[in-house]
């Protein structure tokens, strides 16, 4: 199972808000701060499987579960846009969400593929879906955790390279993120 982020939204924390929170007045490191915002968001999303802003994703499955039940890899799940099933010879068949989804119980972050999709997906299936929080619905504690990650990463910029950020994580940020982590038994 692979999830590809198709993008399509602005970061949940603006450059101006991040600089204000971290009390940064200079402009010569704006590119660095933008990278730290992206890295912090990606770290939170990776740990929580949440999408902090609304955007599209592509979920690739091979093989398809025999019962057709699939848990969305990013949440909150908004809508399924399309489903492409690949036949044994690699021929793709594109289904609309109405044709492909047999069931999506209200309030769940999962859906069940219709039988024709399961039968036609000998070489796997690609599901394009939209997930994420609208600006007004985004949890404020996750935004606060992101601000803390950005500020801490900025302070540690001489210690850790950009590609390794966020390396230092404040305990309060960890505490704010913890309730959103999915627990597996």
- Structure confidence at residue 88 (pLDDT): 94
| 69-71 and 77-86 strand pairing | unpaired
Q: Which residue has the tokens 């230092």?
A: 168
CATH for the 2-52+135-178 domain, from 3.30.1180, 1.10.3230, 1.10.3430, 2.120.10: 1.10.3230
Backbone angles phi, psi at 32, to 5 degrees: -60, -45
| Helix %, strand %, coil % of the chain (to 5) | 35, 25, 35
Listed in sequence order, the residues at least 6 apart from 177 whose beta carbon sits closer than 8 Å to its beta carbon are 44, 47, 48, 142, 145
List pLDDT tens digits, range 16-63: 999 999 999 999 999 999 999 999 999 999 999 999 999 999 999 999
Could you tell me the pLDDT band of residue 185, with boundaries at 50, 70 and 90? low
Listed in sequence order, the residues at least 6 apart from 136 whose beta carbon sits closer than 8 Å to its beta carbon are none
Rounded to two decimals, the pTM is: 0.86
- Lowest mean per-residue pLDDT among 106-115, 118-127, 149-158: 106-115
Q: Using the predicted structure, report yes or no on whether residue 165 has a pLDDT greater than 80.
A: no
Contact 127, 59 (CB under 8 A): yes
Sign for the pseudo-dihedral over CA of 32, 8, 69, 123: negative
């Amino acid at each position: 199972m692979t999830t590809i982020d198709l993008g399509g939204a602005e970061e949940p924390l603006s450059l101006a808000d991040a600089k204000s929170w971290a009390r940064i007045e200079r402009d010569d490191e704006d590119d660095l701060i933008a990278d730290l915002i992206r890295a912090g968001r990606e770290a939170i999303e990776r740990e929580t499987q949440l999408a902090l802003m609304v955007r599209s994703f592509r979920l690739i499955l091979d093989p398809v579960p025999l019962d057709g039940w699939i848990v969305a890899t990013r949440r909150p799940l908004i809508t399924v846009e399309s489903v492409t099933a690949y036949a044994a010879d690699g021929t793709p068949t594109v289904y609309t969400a109405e044709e492909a989804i047999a069931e999506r119980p209200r309030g769940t972050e999962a859906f069940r593929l219709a039988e024709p999709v399961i039968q036609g997906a000998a070489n796997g299936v690609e599901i394009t879906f939209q997930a994420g929080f609208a600006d007004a619905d985004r949890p404020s504690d996750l935004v606060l955790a992101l601000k803390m990650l950005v500020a801490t990463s900025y302070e540690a910029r001489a210690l850790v390279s950009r590609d390794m950020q966020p390396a230092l994580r404040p305990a309060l940020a960890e505490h704010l993120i913890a309730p959103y982590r999915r627990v597996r038994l």
